[in-house]
Amino acid sequence: MIAIIDYDAGNIKSVEKAMRYLGQDVEITRDRERILAADKVILPGVGAFGDAMEKIRQYGLEEVIRQVVDRGTPFLGICLGLQLLFEESEESPGAKGLGILKGKIRRIPGGEGLKIPHMGWNTLELSGDGRLFRGVPEEPFVYFVHSYYLEAQEEEIVKAVTWYGAKIHASVEKENVFACQFHPEKSSSTGLLMLKNFVEL
């Protein structure tokens, strides 16, 4: 079973739909025991960093997420779910993230006719060894919706980057923790292949 963590954030249904399309037994839940019993866990999300962390703590999910990661269960953060894995965000000064991975979430600089949020399709540059990207063509097109981006402290965990006013660390992988700033569930057959790779870990 794949558990999708429910903390009142947007975009949960589209992730569930993609997983069901891939033939997976999936459950949207904030129940501690169900999450810990899952074979894989997904933290999706669209919204504000500080509000999301408040909800995660309100529902007692921070410790559950740490347990999932410590146990070695494959864990995937999507969009805001990627950002929450890190320490802090310029979107919500003073709000502490999960801090499972090291790095900061920065605001995308405007100017040069760039619209914020960064919304739409953009090309990824792959590092070549990301397990989510097995079989994915070079320079895949994926779908983004975000105003803030990851600047990871550990370059070696970055498996894909894109450019939009800055170099954006678009996907990271460290041991059993995976995360994407883009939306694989909205990125056509390419994104579904990435989700299939996660399912098959």
**b/e string for 42-78 if b means 16 or more Cβ within 10 A?**
bbbbbbbbbbbbebbeebebbebbeebbeeebbbbbb
CA atoms of 103 and 86, how far apart (whole Å): 6
Give residue 79's region: left, alpha or beta (phi > 0; psi -120 to 50). left
Residues marked active site are found at 79, 183, 185
Calpha distance 117→139 (Å, rounded): 22
Q: Which residue has the tokens 């894995």?
A: 85
